[in-house]
Amino acid sequence: MSTLLRLATAGSVDDGKSTLVGRLLHDTKSVLADQLDAVERVSRDRGLTSADLALLTDGLRAEREQGITIDVAYRYFATAHRSFVLADCPGHVQYTRNTVTGSSTADAVVLLVDARKGVLEQTRRHLAVAALMRVPHVVVAVNKIDLVDHSEDVFRSVAADVRSLAVELGIPDAHAVPVSALVGDNVVDRSTNTPWYEGPSLLELLEALAPDTDPAHESFRMPVQVVVRPQGAARSPEHVEYRGYAGQLASGSIRVGDEVVVLPSGTRTTVAGIDLGERSLDVAVAPQSVTIRLTDDVDVSRGDLLCAASDPVALRQEVQALACWLGDEPLHPGARLLVKHGSRTVLAMVRSVDGRLDLDAMRLAPADRLQLNDIGRVTVRFASPLPVEDYSTSRRGGAFLLVDPDDGRTLAAVMAGALAPGEHPG
Amino acid sequence: MTTAVTTTDIRTEVLSVTIDVTTVPSTAPPADLPVLSQLDVLESEAMLVIREITAELERPVLLFSGGKDSVVMLHVAAKAFWPAPIPFPVLHVDTGHNFPEVLAYRDATVERLGLRLEVASVQDWIDDGRLRERADGTRNPLQTQPLLDAIARHRFDGVFGGGRRDEEKARAKERVVSLRDDFGQWDPKNQRPELWNLFNPRHRPGEHVRVFPLSNWTELDVWRYVEREGIELPALYYTHEREVYARDGMLLAVGPWSRPRVDETVTRRRVRYRTVGDMSCTGAVESEAVTVADVVAEVAASTLTERGATRADDRISEAAMEDRKKEGYF
């Protein structure tokens, strides 16, 4: 059976990120002949002697014209063991916005570092964002190893820098691999050019990573998206009385007979059945989408959260959180916005902007507003209490959006919690 | 779980680490919990999207052509709301050049699931002069206006489409929930960030969202899912004999809207379709695939993308799809 792993890329300009992605696609035979023909044709037109694999990922006309990547592109490749969804995030334009977007769903971030340049300020920032987003795995591809004569010393030194940064930033799992995206060293197959390197190739490593989040290990939570109550419209007469609560398990697992709590009401009840379409399940595990039937006739609506009775979420009226601001106009304290958390949307007010996070020093700098692409600490008050967890405990339960109530724009990605990983207090 | 990170947690000592890819990762769920395959995860994501958009919007609609992606999307939608019926109608933009067996399949499916079908007819628009037939006879680009008109007329605010990001490079840039302005236009340079699995379909009056629940599926995923779920598809996805002629490296069927030129020879061959669209610009591929399993094997071994193999309309230019999408195409 094949599993799914979600990846996001990060890198600075000219680190060769598009080339690496192109190489992964090409060497896993995920690029088909007609796509390669097109790339070769355009490369020739531009006077290049070999196919520019970066052209595989730059899909928009403006990107091709300007030779840059503008927006996150999604790519797919697969090996015998695993399918990969890769969010290819641009390095410069709207950097924070794109990287935060790409890494919010990622099980692993692949970060490129130019072997000749080593760990730069930008590398530090990329790692800091990966740490903030709590991406479970970080893989540093030390690229252009061919341009430093496949030097073991260079690689060891970069790997050591990455290691100490990862420790400092609280990244739980970090790896480094010496690669050349251009010629393919250690991307798919281990290279004879780096005989001193005994670790896995990049692809072997990606195949072996645990498909995180491990939502199945945490306590059961499921936001109710839809109440399924067919009544007279039931597709079969036996289901006229059917009443189920449909949603996707955000974390944990649930069995028939388990006791659950409905939030915000706090009502306790028991799982009578779990349906996935016409199929009945004994157990469901995150991130499955199912419909849950309950033993009691309790009041449950869209937006409610079903959670394990043994470990319910506390309701909070106000949270401190880190917000990545994505709006064109700055965020000022007092802003009245919508919060989307799980399947619930409520009115909220940003009570205060408590500072802007300096990603280089990992320290909060004084600020009374947040500009586009700033990451800062805010205090948000909800119009009605929400079961918001700490983002450090649950990536799903601790994340919410701020939305413009007038035009619906997504204005901020917010992570609840008093301190960021690696942050120096005060 | 929060723990102080110690250096022993960090596996940057890759120089000495050898990873055995054949063993199960140590953090795998306990043995008594099911392990989800990629199809389970993709299906769940599509159900999440369909439920969320349906709950948040007033008047969603699902684009249904009888093509495999829309069939799979409809199958997932039925699962998402079972045992209640699918709570929205389906819309077909009929170019007037569709394969008759696909239209029959469409009608039978709508009937079986008790759905309401709306049809936006390109032929009607041509007949009354609102659209003009193109010189090349292709009607795919002509679908945009009738589609936008149907969306406006029925005040649909969310339109589910079967588009997949692996199909085409402009589609690879598309969000799962993608905003269209009040002219139906897509602005690829100014897309909303899409974070975690918090899908946000809110918009101003007059705007609408296109929603792609199968965004992260590949052609092979679709076929493996068809196989796993036992989904019936129009017969022309499987091998059959047909009179065809070669043009631009594709095999086009001889039919009322696709005639060979004098220099093109018609032969009878065993073919199947990888995509099903307008007859005038959708090509067949030679195939002996009788069963779904045969198709899965064939797709896995194919060296061409489905659009590269079978769609003339995408060959117009490097950015043909992007240009159509900006105007409001699927």
Domain CATH number, residue A356: 2.40.30.10
Among B42, B195, B322, the residue with its CB nearest the CB of A61 is: B322
Same domain, B73 and B201: yes
Give the Cα separation of B198 and B196 in Å (integer).
6
Report if residue B19 sits inside a domain. no
Whether residue A12 contacts residue A120, with contact meaning beta carbons closer than 8 Å, is answered with: yes
Same domain, B42 and B183: yes
Report the pLDDT value the prediction gives residue B306, as an integer from 0 to 100.
Answer: 72
Q: Please state the pTM of the whole predicted model.
A: 0.91
Shortest CA gap A354–chain B (Å):
23
The verdict on a CB contact (< 8 Å) between A403 and B51 is no
For β-strands A244-248 and A279-281, DSSP reports them as unpaired
Same domain, A53 and A162: yes
Looking at the structure of chain B, the number of domains it has is: 2
Same domain, B280 and B213: no
Report the pLDDT value the prediction gives residue B329, as an integer from 0 to 100.
Answer: 76
Report if residue A55 sits inside a domain. yes
Which strands, in side-by-side order, build the sheet including A174-178? A73-78, A82-88, A3-10, A108-114, A137-143, A174-178
Shortest CA gap A168–chain B (Å):
9
Residues in chain B within 8 Å Cβ distance of A230? 83-85
End residue of a domain, out of A283, A308, A333: A308
Same domain, A169 and A230: no
Q: In this prediction, what percent of chain B has a pLDDT beyond 90?
A: 52
Six-digit token pair at B244? 């065809």
Among B11, B221, B322, the residue with its CB nearest the CB of A60 is: B322
Residues in chain A within 8 Å Cβ distance of B32? 283
Whether residue B211 contacts residue B176, with contact meaning beta carbons closer than 8 Å, is answered with: yes
pLDDT at position B253 over 70: yes
Report the pLDDT value the prediction gives residue A35, as an integer from 0 to 100.
Answer: 74
Report if residue A422 sits inside a domain. no
Same domain, A26 and A109: yes
Same domain, B186 and B245: no
Report if residue A163 sits inside a domain. yes
Residue A83 in contact with partner chain B when CB distance is under 8 A: yes
Residue A226 in contact with partner chain B when CB distance is under 8 A: yes
Report if residue B9 sits inside a domain. no
End residue of a domain, out of A249, A282, A308: A308
Same domain, B213 and B259: no
Same domain, A241 and A341: no
Same domain, A16 and A80: yes
Looking at the structure of chain A, the number of domains it has is: 3
ipTM: 0.92
Residue B98 Cα to chain centre, angstroms: 17
Overall residue count recorded for chain B in this entry:
330
Report if residue A71 sits inside a domain. yes
Which residue is associated with the tokens 């499916």? B109
Report if residue A426 sits inside a domain. no
Report if residue B1 sits inside a domain. no
* Upper half-sphere CA count for residue B236 (Cβ side, 13 Å): 22
The verdict on a CB contact (< 8 Å) between B196 and A83 is no
The verdict on a CB contact (< 8 Å) between B29 and A76 is no
Residue A3 in contact with partner chain B when CB distance is under 8 A: yes
C-alpha closest to that of A34 among B285, B237, B239, B271: B285
Same domain, A79 and A179: yes
Give the Cα separation of B193 and B177 in Å (integer).
10
Six-digit token pair at B182? 């009040």
The verdict on a CB contact (< 8 Å) between B9 and A172 is yes
Hey, of B164, B169, B203, B306, which one would you mutate to test binding to chain A, going by the most A CBs within 10 A of its CB? B169
Kindly report the three-state secondary structure assignment for every residue of A333-345. Answer: CCCEEEEEECCEE
Same domain, B239 and B298: yes
Same domain, B273 and B152: no
Shortest CA gap A343–chain B (Å):
8
Report if residue A192 sits inside a domain. yes
Report if residue A424 sits inside a domain. no
Same domain, A86 and A129: yes
Among B84, B165, B203, the residue with its CB nearest the CB of A234 is: B84
Q: Residue A130 class from Cβ within 10 Å (0-12 exposed, 13-18 middle, 19+ buried)?
A: buried
The verdict on a CB contact (< 8 Å) between B83 and A34 is no
Residues in chain B within 8 Å Cβ distance of A277? 78-79, 82
Report the pLDDT value the prediction gives residue A376, as an integer from 0 to 100.
Answer: 94
Domain CATH number, residue A170: 3.40.50.300
Crossing angle of helices B68-81 and B38-56, in 10° steps, is 70
Same domain, A256 and A369: no
Among A98, A175, A253, the residue with its CB nearest the CB of B14 is: A175
Hey, of A1, A2, A4, which one would you mutate to test binding to chain B, going by the most B CBs within 10 A of its CB? A4
Residues in chain A within 8 Å Cβ distance of B48? 225, 247-248, 289
pLDDT at position B174 over 90: no
Residue B27: pLDDT band by 50, 70, 90 thresholds? very low
The verdict on a CB contact (< 8 Å) between A73 and B173 is yes
Among B83, B165, B319, the residue with its CB nearest the CB of A242 is: B83
Kindly report the three-state secondary structure assignment for every residue of chain B. Answer: CCCCCCHHHCCCCCCCCCCCCCCCCCCCCCCCCCCCCHHHHHHHHHHHHHHHHHHHCCCEEEECCCCHHHHHHHHHHHHHHCCCCCCCCEEEEECCCCCHHHHHHHHHHHHHHCCCEEEEEHHHHHHCCCCCCCCCCCCHHHHHHHHHHHHHHCCCCEEECCCCHHHCCCHHHCCCEEEECCCCCCCHHHCCCCCCCCCCCCCCCCCEEEECCCCCCCHHHHHHHHHHHCCCCCHHHCCEEEEEEEECCEEEECECCECCCCCCCEEEEEEEECCCCCCCCECEEECCCCCHHHHHHHHHHCCCCHHHHHEHHHHCCCCHHHHHHHHCCC
Same domain, A44 and A126: yes
Same domain, A369 and A283: no
Shortest CA gap A33–chain B (Å):
5
Domain CATH number, residue B141: 3.40.50.620
Hey, of B195, B307, B322, B323, which one would you mutate to test binding to chain A, going by the most A CBs within 10 A of its CB? B195
Report if residue B26 sits inside a domain. no
Shortest CA gap A410–chain B (Å):
7
pLDDT at position B44 over 60: yes
The verdict on a CB contact (< 8 Å) between B200 and A408 is yes
The verdict on a CB contact (< 8 Å) between A246 and B81 is yes
pLDDT at position B305 over 90: no
Q: What tens digit of pLDDT does each residue of B83-135 get?
A: 999 999 999 999 888 888 899 999 999 999 999 999 998 888 888 888 888 87
Output the CA–CA distances (angstroms, integers) from residue A2 to A341, B21, B224, in the order listed: 31, 13, 12
Shortest CA gap A306–chain B (Å):
16
Among A60, A73, A208, the residue with its CB nearest the CB of B21 is: A208
Whether residue A126 contacts residue A89, with contact meaning beta carbons closer than 8 Å, is answered with: no
Which residue is associated with the tokens 């008594």? B32
Torsions phi, psi of B62, nearest 5? -115, 130
Q: Which residue of B has its CA nearest to A102?
A: B195
Q: What tens digit of pLDDT does each residue of A162-209 get?
A: 999 999 898 888 999 999 998 889 999 999 999 999 999 999 999 999
Q: The domain containing residue A277 runs over which residues? A: 216-308
| Tens of pLDDT, residue by residue, chain A (426 residues) | 788 999 998 877 667 787 888 888 888 877 777 777 777 777 777 777 667 766 766 666 666 666 666 678 888 888 888 999 998 877 665 677 888 888 999 999 999 999 999 998 888 888 988 999 999 999 999 999 999 999 999 999 999 999 999 998 988 889 999 999 988 899 999 999 999 999 999 999 999 998 765 555 689 999 999 999 998 888 788 999 999 999 999 999 999 999 999 999 999 999 999 999 999 999 999 999 999 999 988 999 999 999 999 999 999 999 999 999 999 999 999 999 999 999 999 999 999 999 999 888 888 899 999 999 899 999 999 999 999 999 988 889 999 999 999 999 999 999 999 777 777 776
Give the Cα separation of A295 and A260 in Å (integer).
11
Among B35, B38, B193, the residue with its CB nearest the CB of A97 is: B193
Shortest CA gap A413–chain B (Å):
7
Same domain, B153 and B124: yes
Among B2, B51, B204, the residue with its CB nearest the CB of A226 is: B51
Report if residue A269 sits inside a domain. yes
Shortest CA gap A273–chain B (Å):
14
Report the pLDDT value the prediction gives residue B2, as an integer from 0 to 100.
Answer: 39
Same domain, B72 and B207: yes
End residue of a domain, out of A254, A289, A308: A308
Burial B106-123 (b: 16+ CB within 10 A, else e): beebbeebebeebebebe
Kindly report the three-state secondary structure assignment for every residue of chain A. Answer: CCEEEEEEEECCCCCCHHHHHHHHHHHCCCCCHHHHHHHHHHHHHCCCCCCCHHHHCCCCHHHHHHCCCCCCEEEEEECCCEEEEEEECCCCCCHHHHHHHHHHCCCEEEEEEECCCCCCHHHHHHHHHHHHCCCCEEEEEEECHHHHCCCHHHHHHHHHHHHHHHHHHCCCCEEEEECECCCCECCCCCCCCCCCCCCCCHHHHHHHCCCCCCHHHCCCEEECCEEECCHHHCCCHHHCCCCEEEEECCECEEECCCEEEEECCCEEEEEEEEEECCEEECEEECCCEEEEEECCCCCCCCCCEEEECCCCCCCEEEEEEEEEECCCCCECCCCEEEEEECCEEEEEEEEEEEEEEECCCCEEECCCCECCCCEEEEEEEEEEEECCCCCCCCCCCCEEEEECCCCCCEEEEEEECCCCCCCECC
Other Cβ atoms less than 10 A from the Cβ of A189: the count is 12
Shortest CA gap A307–chain B (Å):
17
Q: The domain containing residue B296 runs over which residues? A: 235-316
Same domain, B170 and B249: no
Among B5, B165, B305, the residue with its CB nearest the CB of A32 is: B305
Higher pLDDT, B264 or B200: B200
Give the Cα separation of B191 and A101 in Å (integer).
11
pLDDT at position B312 over 60: no
For β-strands B158-160 and B240-247, DSSP reports them as unpaired
Same domain, B188 and B292: no
The verdict on a CB contact (< 8 Å) between B198 and A210 is no
Whether residue A229 contacts residue A243, with contact meaning beta carbons closer than 8 Å, is answered with: yes
Same domain, A166 and A276: no
Report if residue B142 sits inside a domain. yes
Same domain, A64 and A144: yes
Crossing angle of helices B38-56 and B219-229, in 10° steps, is 90
Same domain, B90 and B42: yes
Report the pLDDT value the prediction gives residue B31, as an integer from 0 to 100.
Answer: 60
Q: Which residues contact B34 (CB under 8 A, 6 or more apart)?
A: A283, A285
Output the CA–CA distances (angstroms, integers) from residue A334 to A76, A351, A352, A380, B251, in the order listed: 43, 5, 7, 9, 63
